[in-house]
Amino acid sequence: MQVRRWNTAADGPLTEAALRARLEALGYVVARYVYPPGTRFPDHAHDVDKIDAVVSGHFRIVIGGHTAALGPGDWVEVPRGRRHNATVIGDAPVVSLDAIRLAASR
């Protein structure tokens, strides 16, 4: 699992709009979610390629036995069919951009 991190020097200030634009430019359709502290997503898989990105707060994600802590500006690719789980960590909610790549845009 490769964690991608927002680079303020190259990408400018991190904003939700800027992160959304970056994901859309990669060919993804983006939805925004807010998850309260303690939210857990048990092991599951999706039938689409997706990216989990964090605008604010902190998320722990486990993909294929590899664990990463994501903070503001971080994102990971989750390939279709790959089992993964995630947990909001800390006392703040997570604002997340959930980006999916539709089959038609491959």
- What is the secondary structure of 26-61 as a DSSP string? TT-EEEEEEE-TT-EEEEE--SSEEEEEEEESEEEE
State which residues form the domain around 97.
4-105
Task: Report the pLDDT value the prediction gives residue 1, as an integer from 0 to 100.
Answer: 84
Summarize pLDDT for 13-42 with one digit per residue, the tens. Answer: 999 999 999 999 999 999 999 999 999 999
Query: What's the structural domain count of the chain?
Result: 1
Average pLDDT of span 51-70: 95
Give SS3 for 8.
Answer: helix
pLDDT, the chain, mean: 92
Mean pLDDT confidence for 74-85: 94
User: What local confidence, expressed as pLDDT, does residue 33 receive?
Assistant: 97
Residue 69 sits in a domain of what CATH number? 2.60.120.10
